[in-house]
Structure 1
Amino acid sequence: MAALEIWARSVDLHSDSLAPPSAIAAAFGLAISDGAFLSATRDTLASAFAGLIIGGAIGLAFGIALGVFQVFDRLMEVTVEAVRPIPSIALLPIALIALGFGYRMEIAIIAFACVWPILILSRAAVQEVEPRLMEVARALRLSPADRVRKIIIPAALPRIFVAFRLAAGIALIVAVTVEIAINPIGLGAAIMAAQQGLQPDLMLAYLVWIGVIGYGLNAGLNLAQRHLFGRAALVGDPA
């Protein structure tokens, strides 16, 4: 950072895309003081968390069903593998026509993006539940609902939480991308407004802020994961 500051000052940098770190810090402080960061952050996080909750609930329900019922898993395999690779951003034209600008369109796209990591990882977590636990469930003659509630979910929960943590990062990425591409709210729209206003210091300040939010979100969820599950949190954790 010091080298970049020295270089920018030595060449008397005048650019529409770059700014010295001191100018970025000044723009950062000004945007926080006038509330621009807070309102844009609120809009982006509201959409990201709403989409994460909706997509997570759908992905978890289908993931558990696919993991428990092998026949259902085989029947849905082609459908899942055909729909999963579709980029969420490719749905923008359809979502815009159906839902228009605003929160609903952004939440729908985020939910679609969040379904897949939670579905795939929760299905794998359920399928890898210790077989002896399933034998205990059969010996106790538990109903399918009780088997899921009392045996499968508690055993698979650490890996399901890992899926939720990964989906949270995806939700933030997709939210900002949708706002940059088409939706005039949130941090993505603020970045585009700064770029179009030839304010590279403010634009880069928003980028730094998004990185801070992403890091804080992941660190918080990682801490919660380790606090809730202890050593079990390390099982299946890609981080």
Structure 2
Amino acid sequence: GESAVDEAIAPIYKTYENVQTSILFNKTEIELQLMVRADAEAKAENILDELAGKIKEKLGLAVFAMNGEMMEEIIGKLLSAAGKTLSVAESCTGGLISERLTEIAGASEYFIEGATVYANEAKIRTLNVAPEIIENNGAVSAETAEAMAEGMRKKSQTDYAISVTGIAGPTGGSEEKPIGLVYVGFASKVETKAIKIMLPGDRHLIRWRASQAALDLLRRKMLKSFSANLP
């Protein structure tokens, strides 16, 4: 949360004079605002750039934007710069990820296809998820999320695919699989992976946070892949 972020970066900004910080939390992210006072605008900008760079280095991949961009904007820039394509398979988010991606002008350059596969039959029919995967593990599982992502990538012939399956509530939860349980999947030509997350909030917030988690998983995977391929 905000306190953890402040604890991590306080030793950095406290070494600077005339610097003010504010940390704001919204439904999916923490926003850090930096303000610098100096006797010249250029000097203030230099201090701000230096400070922001040190904070970004400290927080690493947790920082996804430096100038207030939305996650979908960052994803678009990464995909465009790399010449890569994306497809999306959604269950509990019901098309929200596709909606966010297509809010960005020029998304057709990299976003190929999105599928809302809410029912199990749709996952099987549309994405070629093996029925036994759902029967043995449930629709809300790492195995199903991985199969959804891989099925979507193969169907769309994209470089990457992401998937989401979960329980957004307010009904449908159980002791074993409570409301807020979400699995986010990722597939590329070399890797298929799913992660488990527990998201707080009402149905709207869980769905939004799940969409953010899926896009963030894609961002992290792309950045790690790009850095691994640097000379």
Of the two, which has the highest radius of gyration?
1
Q: TM-score, normalised by structure 1?
A: 0.28
Higher relative helix content? 1
Instruction: Identify which of structures 1 and 2 has the higher relative contact order when contacts are C-alpha pairs closer than 8 Å and 6+ apart.
Output: 1
TM norm structure 2? 0.29
Higher strand share: 2
